[in-house]
Amino acid sequence: MGSNDDIMHEFVRKELRKLYPSVDGWQIRPAAKSGGKEQGFIVARRILGRSEGAYVLVSFDRNVTPPTVDSLVAMARKEPIPGLASPKMILVVPQNTDVTGVSREVTVLPMQSFVWVDKELVWLKRRNQMSEKAQAAKSS
């Protein structure tokens, strides 16, 4: 049986497949586990004789800390993308995450599925379902 982390990371994989579709030649593979709680992915493709790619680290933390960014840099060092000298580094986080400690060379992508509301991580689809039920209850 899968854990909540597995399910949450599956939503992230779906978002990555939308950003990097296999139809366009993108391959998405999990990066080797670094020992942290973050999940990493490597996206890459070869098109028209050149390579493109990025390292993607997913974090569900409320605040991105320097060790999280260090995990992304370590992943890039451990698993080079063939034919690519300087791939992008991308950090995928829930909406409303504090990313003030993230350096400029790291691109931050907010998730479409999760958001921080006060101190709670909320699954957006679930929140929408709850508001619909609340509206239905009020109108009855």
* Domain extent listing, the chain: 4-139
pLDDT at 133 over 90: no
H helices of the chain, in order, are 4-19, 66-78, 124-139
pLDDT digits (tens, 9 = 90+) for 21-63: 999 999 999 988 755 667 899 999 998 888 999 999 999 999 9
pLDDT digits (tens, 9 = 90+) for 63-92: 999 999 999 999 999 998 988 888 999 999
| CB-based contacts of 125, cutoff 8 Å, min separation 6 | 113
Q: Give CA–CA dist 49/67, Å, rounded.
A: 36
Neighbours of 69 (CB within 10 A): 20
Mode of pairing for the β-strands spanning 106-117 and 120-123 = antiparallel
Tokens matching residue 108: 């931050």
Tokens matching residue 49: 């004789």
